[in-house]
Amino acid sequence: MSILVIAEHDNTSLKADTLKTVSAAQKIGGDITLLVAGFNCQEVVNAAANVNSICKVIACDNQAYEHQLAENISSLVVELATDYEHILAAALTTGKNFMPRVAALLDVAQISDIIEVVNSNTFVRPIYAGNAIATVQSLDNKKVITVRTTGFNATETDGSAEIMSLDIITDAGISSHISDELTESERPDLGAAGVVISGGRGMQNGDNFQLLDGIADKLGAAIGASRAAVDAGFVPNDMQVGQTGKIVAPDLYIAVGISGAIQHLAGMKDSKVIVAINKDPEAPIFQVADYGVVADLFEALPELESKL
Amino acid sequence: MKVLVPIKRVIDYNVKVRVKPDNSDVDLANTKMAINPFCEIAVEEAVRLKEAGTVSEIIVVSIGDKSCQEQLRTALALGADRAIQIDTDQSLDALNIAKLLQKIVEEEQPQLIILGKQSIDSDNNQTGQMLAALTGMAQGTFASEVKVEGDKIHVTREVDGGLQTLVLKLPAIVTTDLRLNEPRYASLPNIMKAKRKPLVIKPASDFSINLTARTKLLKVTPPAQRQAGIMLDTIDELIEKLKNEAKVIS
């Protein structure tokens, strides 16, 4: 069997999510090809060649792929699809955007957000915001799959696969990129951080999120937020952890002033160790926390920062 | 400009779903159902575009048995002009849903199609993108802002690193994210008025599409439960546990 994995990157670096997607591909079993479609993305191509257990890297370097526009990337993947039984991408906003378009063009179903591979046609995925876990069998001969990367470990990167450059340009010409407004941060990505500290409605306002900064600095943590905090306008939407935001599974997750709505739990309950700090002893977050502290966060946070 | 808004009937988001004892599926018997929250945002956006004078007619469509007429009436009460129910008892994959919607797009020729980005039951996040593929339209998914300008639409999207703005040629497809708008409540007079708005029923079998299932649900289980841990009295204790018991900080 042959598997095509579409690399997640920003034209300069290969995202760790790709390594986890490759690891899902390994569980399916077969020859794995990694596709890097981008613009001026040679560094990504080189990094992709180092990913273990892949046979080759296909590099498509063209301006049409610079912003991963769904119309263009999906046509490219469909051009390449004949050679593969499985097509995989990470279930991040890029893959979620173009993969269903690939599936429909190939006239096959997509299996979204898999967290486990049972065999080459059967997969496990959460439904109802993680309140039920479905085992789904694909009946199509080609399988288009997005991978929830928190379910898989990253594969190693000490390989050296062959690189093949392809000059296929698929520019649909119906969409174009205007601008990006990306959050600048010195901190690690939410999805990749080993420690995440998140604030909820209990933070009371956006300024108070600075109380998390010192702790995040000491722990090398990313800072997240609950949907309530985002909806209240405390922090931007890309900080949201939850079913409709980022799904994270760090070694340590610290929830501060977060009550623990189902929506939020769906985004963090696979973390290894969960700490909850909340002044309400009845908050549902304590039911999933390994360590709970009932305390006023405005006293607890400065104390935690000073003692770390 | 005509806008089409496909909507889905799902379990009410406040209801916690239960898995059937035989693990065949979730149990939706006697459960409160509602319009999918992301679809409601899609209806609201269409109504706002109409109020702004950009849109002249809003058509809502839903696929399911006659119970989904309830959600179509809700959308009509929110401000949609007319409704189409594609009648079927089958539970359909997103691809088959998109194929049926494609037929409605061919009949109605809307300039804009707004859908929710995902339904809160199957959590697939596929239908809008698939419909875009089948109709050859451009797509602006996970939208937090849309602006129609002439024969183009500007869509600001919620992406992993922040926001991205695209410009798409119309006709185009937009899928909604949570922060696109806050849907209104239907007023009583509008609920009454909605009962008289046109609702057409079309049997799915009329569209001569092969609706064979592409996936098979083998089993559904409850998620692994996390054990509640221990409550600590002080921050000192917490730091000690994290260092020496959990060994996640040094």
Q: What Å distances lie between residue B118 and A82, A150, A168, A266, B75, CA to CA?
A: 29, 20, 32, 15, 17
**Looking at beta carbons, which residues of chain A come within 8 Å of B40?**
none
- Cis peptide bond upstream of B171, omega within 30: yes
Handedness of CA A237, A242, A246, A252 (dihedral sign): positive
Helix spans in chain B (H)? 37-51, 69-78, 94-108, 127-135, 188-194, 235-244
> Rounded to whole angstroms, how far apart are CA atoms A156 and A53?
9
- pLDDT tens for B91-147 read 999 999 999 999 999 999 999 999 999 999 999 999 999 999 999 999 999 999 999
Orientation of helix A70-80 relative to helix A93-105, angle to 10°: 50
Confidence check: pLDDT of A184 > 80: no
Q: Residue A238: its pLDDT value, please?
A: 87
**What is the predicted pLDDT for the residue at A125?**
97
Using the Cβ of A168 and the Cβ atoms of chain B, whether some distance falls under 8 Å is answered with no
**Helix or strand (DSSP H, E) at B21:** none
* Best residue of B102, B118, B129 to probe chain A, by most A CBs closer than 10 Å: B129
**Could you give the strand order of the β-sheet that contains A56-61, starting from the edge strand earlier in sequence?**
A110-114, A143-147, A86-90, A2-6, A31-38, A56-61, A162-165
CB B135, CB B102: distance < 8 Å = yes
Model confidence at A244, pLDDT cuts 50, 70, 90, reads confident
* pLDDT level of residue A245 (50, 70, 90 thresholds): confident
Banded pLDDT at B38 (limits 50, 70, 90) = very high
Residue A114: which of A94, A144, A140 has the closest Cα? A144
Of chain B residues 141-200, which have a CB less than 8 A from chain A?
141-142, 144, 154, 157-169, 172, 177-179
Contacts of B98 (CB under 8 A, 6+ apart): A104, B126, B127, B130, B131, B133, B134
| 29-58 of B, contacting A, C-beta below 8 A | none
| Chain A CB contacts of B241 below 8 Å | 291
- What confidence score (pLDDT) does residue B4 get? 98
Q: How far is A288 from chain B (nearest CA, A)?
A: 5
More confident position, A262 or A105: A105
Q: Does A166 touch chain B (CB under 8 A)?
A: no
Q: Which of residues 224-283 of A touch B (CB under 8 A)?
A: 227, 230-231, 236-238, 243-244, 246, 251-252, 262, 269, 272-275, 281
| ipTM rounded to 2 decimals | 0.94
List Cα–Cα distances, A185 to A118, A229, A250, in angstroms: 38, 19, 18
- Alpha-carbon distance values, A182 to A19, A60, A73, A208 (Å): 23, 25, 21, 22
pLDDT at residue A74, rounded to an integer = 98
Rounded mean pLDDT, A210-236: 94
Average pLDDT over chain A reads 95
Report in angstroms the alpha-carbon separations of B17 from A131, A132, B10, B61, B122: 7, 8, 11, 26, 12
Going from the C-alpha of B166 to that of each of A116, A150, B1, B116, B145, the distances in angstroms are 34, 29, 20, 18, 11
User: Cβ of A133 under 8 Å from any chain B Cβ?
Assistant: yes
pLDDT in the model for residue A307: 94
Nearest to B59 by CA among B119, B113, B137, B125: B113
Beta carbons of A109 and B218 less than 8 Å apart = no
The distance of A242 to chain B (nearest Cα, Å) reads: 12
Question: Between these two residues, A238 and A162, which has the higher pLDDT value?
Answer: A162
**Of the listed ranges A132-141, A258-267, B86-95, the one predicted with least confidence:** A258-267
CB contact at 8 A, B108 and B202: no
Instruction: Please name every residue paired with A88 in a beta bridge, in sequence order, or none if there are none.
Output: A5, A145
Residue A253: what pLDDT?
97
Whether B247 contacts chain A with CB within 8 A: no
Q: With an 8 Å Cβ cutoff, is A107 touching chain B?
A: yes
Q: Is the pLDDT of residue A290 over 80?
A: yes
- Report the gap between the CA of B65 and the closest CA in chain A (Å): 21
- Chain B residues with CB under 8 Å of A275 CB are 238, 242
CA distance linking residue B126 with residue B214, whole number of Å: 14
Q: Which of B124, B138, B246 sits opposite A175 (nearest CB)?
A: B138
Q: Which chain B residues contact residue A174 at CB under 8 A?
A: 136-138, 168-169, 172
Q: How far is A250 from chain B (nearest CA, A)?
A: 10
CB contact under 8 A, A93 and B236: no
Closest by CA position to B160, among listed A244, A6, A213 = A244
What is the average pLDDT across B187-205?
97
User: Which pTM value belongs to this model?
Assistant: 0.93
First-to-final CA distance of chain A = 50
Distances (CA, A) of B236 to A220, A302, B52, B232, B240: 20, 12, 57, 9, 6
- Provide the pLDDT for residue A38: 98
d(CA A74, CA A225): 32
Partners of residue B133 in chain A, C-beta under 8 Å: 74, 100-105
Percentage of residues of chain A with pLDDT beyond 90: 89
- Residues A154, A19 contacting (CB under 8 angstroms): yes
3-state SS, chain A, equals CEEEEECCECCCCECHHHHHHHHHHHHHCCEEEEEEEECCCHHHHHHHHCCCCCCEEEEEECHHHCCCCHHHHHHHHHHHHHHCCEEEEECCHHHHHHHHHHHHHCCCCEEEEECEEEECCEEEEEEHHHCEEEEEEECCCCEEEEECHHHCCCCCCCCCCEEEECCCCCCCCCEEEEEEEECCCCCCCCCCCCEEEEECHHHCCCHHHHHHHHHHHHHCCEEEECHHHHHCCCCCHHHEECCCCECCCCCEEEEECCCCCHHHHHHHCCCCEEEEEECCCCCHHHHCCCEEEECCHHHHHHHHHHHC
